[in-house]
Chain A
């Protein structure tokens, strides 16, 4: 085999290991799915009636209109929340003894991280299916074609890939599993400071500018356009640029942390 083939084989082995972990201990996956589902029900049934009335240009208003509006926001909460799991699983791997074994073996250095990232991506997609299922069950009726759905999955997967690499880097930077489970928390807050839950036009000046320029807004607007109609404009290209940029910077940061890690500690 060539060295590329070895890298691929080793990454696949590590991926199998991570999927085995997820299937054997499904509680983390369920916890990651729980948060967005609770938000969905909370926002639709508690706040939805009132919030829907205030929506301009989104149908006849009310709870149904708010459900249509909020699902893209819930989907990006799902992606952000699922990315938290990566930091936890990477950090618990790094604080265990097995990572030293991997480092003394002639295996591709990237394989450990690649296994985590691809494993988390599949986990995120599974959680997304669950969240979309609940949305449909409570009355979400998108008017998207199959092609639109495909594009939406692509946008979500690319954005998830970026956040997962970021979370992996945060997991590597953390000194303990506890820290690793806290540092990426800000990711779950950012969807609320975007167009995910209310139109940015309703926000006060400073916050509105922040919401319009942060990455979660173009991703949400692209999803909204694809799933429930509405203009996408430049949002799609901005969403893709943000995703690629975050993924690339986080990847470089993660690999640097991985190669440097423990080199400085005596034992």
Chain B
């Protein structure tokens, strides 16, 4: 039950899956190097969860060659299961037990033994800030606590490859940051992480490589930086009171595109404080008054426009997408 060092942690070739008439995965190729974070990015219904379920041996692909840790998921699912940990989109915890009992259940199923199990449980409770709630039943847990327990349960067996299906969907910003920190720590310990998300920001924060899934196909793949270079969506928008000011500013700043009717100037950029300050300093030096400023960061929609030419299906505000999933 070991990883073959020569093989990538995850390697999938020409993966196909349909449910009846509906084609969910239409020839997906993926390679994830050992010890890296790979993010599969896409809107709801793109096929992300199906991909995770296939890679984690829950369902079989219709076609394709899929290896995790060098083991074929179809021929030797047992060897794959011994290597992986999965935290799905919906909490995979036992609601009738306490947090500690949930971890104990995992320790027993991994045959850790009493002493080693106890140590591992205490360590995970501490690390996930659940020590205080260890003896509480699950209904008393908040969404963030459940998600942390869920991940802690996945880690009991020290998996070499972890699948996280939308690990932060539905979490508040603070819990989301905590989860990101935990994921980074896991990766620095050498664990390979396969993560799905519908947030570009999340992929950007965490992933070494990102693949964009759309209608069952990978439409773009690369490092977050490579991907962002392909996205023209990020810009600063300046609103002026006077047409003269707009013209003067447009003359000063390269690549800026003025809109004479709206008195608005768009300047491409990443929206960082340094770039903002540079633009504002320049305008200030030239005594040009800016009435209003807004920053637009590239989001999933921009990625989809850039790589597919169409908007993300069901492209709604993130809050609405979360509501749909509850």
The distance in angstroms between the C-alpha atoms of A98 and B154, with both chains bound, is 11
Contact status B56-A263, CB under 8 Å? no
Contact status B57-A17, CB under 8 Å? no
Identify which of B49, B81, B95 contacts A96 (C-beta below 8 A). B95
Instruction: Count residues of B near A (Cβ-Cβ below 8 Å).
Output: 35
- Contact A6 to B111, CB < 8 A, known contacts A17-B97, A104-B84: yes
- Residues of chain A within 8 A of B238, CB atoms compared: none
Residue B78 at the chain A interface, CB threshold 8 Å:
yes
- Contact A97 to B101, CB < 8 A, known contacts A9-B111, A13-B108, A104-B56: no
Contact status A105-B94, CB under 8 Å? no
Task: From B85-93, B204-212, B229-237, give the one contacting chain A.
Answer: B85-93
A-B contact pairs, 20 of them (CB 8 A): A10-B109, A13-B105, A13-B109, A17-B94, A20-B96, A20-B97, A96-B95, A100-B86, A100-B88, A101-B86, A101-B92, A103-B58, A104-B58, A104-B84, A105-B81, A105-B109, A105-B110, A106-B81, A264-B19, A266-B50
Contact status A107-B86, CB under 8 Å? no
Closest CB-CB distance, B87 to chain A, in whole Å?
8
The distance in angstroms between the C-alpha atoms of A13 and B49, with both chains bound, is 29
Closest CB-CB distance, A247 to chain B, in whole Å?
26
The distance in angstroms between the C-alpha atoms of A101 and B138, with both chains bound, is 17
Residue A175 at the chain B interface, CB threshold 8 Å:
no
| 0/1 string, A239-267, CB within 8 A of B gives 1 | 00000000000000000000000111111
Contact residues of A with B, CB < 8 Å?
1, 6, 9-10, 13, 16-17, 20-21, 24-25, 96-98, 100-107, 262-267
Contact status B92-A105, CB under 8 Å? no
Sample of 5 more A-B contacts, CB < 8 Å, known A9-B111, A96-B95, A103-B57: A1-B111, A97-B88, A100-B86, A104-B84, A106-B1
Contact status B59-A98, CB under 8 Å? no
Residue B24 at the chain A interface, CB threshold 8 Å:
yes
- Residues of chain B within 8 A of A105, CB atoms compared: 81, 109-110, 157
Contact status B86-A104, CB under 8 Å? yes
- Residues of chain A within 8 A of B93, CB atoms compared: 97-98
Contact status A97-B19, CB under 8 Å? no
- Residues of chain A within 8 A of B92, CB atoms compared: 97-98, 100-101
A93 to B, closest residue via Cβ: B94
Closest CB-CB distance, A30 to chain B, in whole Å?
16
Contact status B111-A263, CB under 8 Å? no
Residue B153 at the chain A interface, CB threshold 8 Å:
yes
Residue B114 at the chain A interface, CB threshold 8 Å:
no
- Residues of chain A within 8 A of B59, CB atoms compared: 262-263
| 0/1 string, B47-83, CB within 8 A of A gives 1 | 0011000001111100000000000000000100110
Q: Which 3 A-B pairs have the closest CB atoms?
A: A101-B92, A97-B92, A106-B82
Contact status A97-B90, CB under 8 Å? yes
| 0/1 string, B150-161, CB within 8 A of A gives 1 | 000110010000
Closest CB-CB distance, B156 to chain A, in whole Å?
10
The distance in angstroms between the C-alpha atoms of A104 and B194, with both chains bound, is 15
8 Å CB contacts to A: which residues of B94-148? 94-97, 101, 105, 108-111
- Residues of chain A within 8 A of B60, CB atoms compared: 263
Residue B287 at the chain A interface, CB threshold 8 Å:
no
The distance in angstroms between the C-alpha atoms of A129 and B237, with both chains bound, is 78
- Residues of chain B within 8 A of A21, CB atoms compared: 96-97
The distance in angstroms between the C-alpha atoms of A105 and B159, with both chains bound, is 10
Closest CB-CB distance, A107 to chain B, in whole Å?
5
Residue B278 at the chain A interface, CB threshold 8 Å:
no
Which of A20, A25, A102, A265 counts the most chain B CB atoms within 10 A?
A: A20
- Contact A267 to B49, CB < 8 A, known contacts A98-B92, A100-B58: yes
Residue B22 at the chain A interface, CB threshold 8 Å:
yes
Closest CB-CB distance, A142 to chain B, in whole Å?
38
The distance in angstroms between the C-alpha atoms of A211 and B93, with both chains bound, is 45
- Residues of chain B within 8 A of A263, CB atoms compared: 59-60
The distance in angstroms between the C-alpha atoms of A213 and B270, with both chains bound, is 80
The distance in angstroms between the C-alpha atoms of A102 and B94, with both chains bound, is 11
The distance in angstroms between the C-alpha atoms of A105 and B93, with both chains bound, is 14
- Contact A266 to B19, CB < 8 A, known contacts A98-B93, A104-B57: yes
The distance in angstroms between the C-alpha atoms of A105 and B86, with both chains bound, is 9
Closest CB-CB distance, A106 to chain B, in whole Å?
4
The distance in angstroms between the C-alpha atoms of A8 and B105, with both chains bound, is 15
Which of A17, A20, A25, A98 counts the most chain B CB atoms within 10 A?
A: A98
- Residues of chain B within 8 A of A262, CB atoms compared: 58-59
- Contact A25 to B109, CB < 8 A, known contacts A106-B78, A106-B82: no
- Residues of chain A within 8 A of B56, CB atoms compared: 104
The distance in angstroms between the C-alpha atoms of A251 and B314, with both chains bound, is 44
Contact status A17-B49, CB under 8 Å? no
- Residues of chain B within 8 A of A97, CB atoms compared: 88, 90-93
The distance in angstroms between the C-alpha atoms of A104 and B68, with both chains bound, is 13
The distance in angstroms between the C-alpha atoms of A101 and B90, with both chains bound, is 11
- Residues of chain A within 8 A of B96, CB atoms compared: 20-21, 24-25
A263 to B, closest residue via Cβ: B59
The distance in angstroms between the C-alpha atoms of A10 and B92, with both chains bound, is 18
The distance in angstroms between the C-alpha atoms of A104 and B92, with both chains bound, is 11
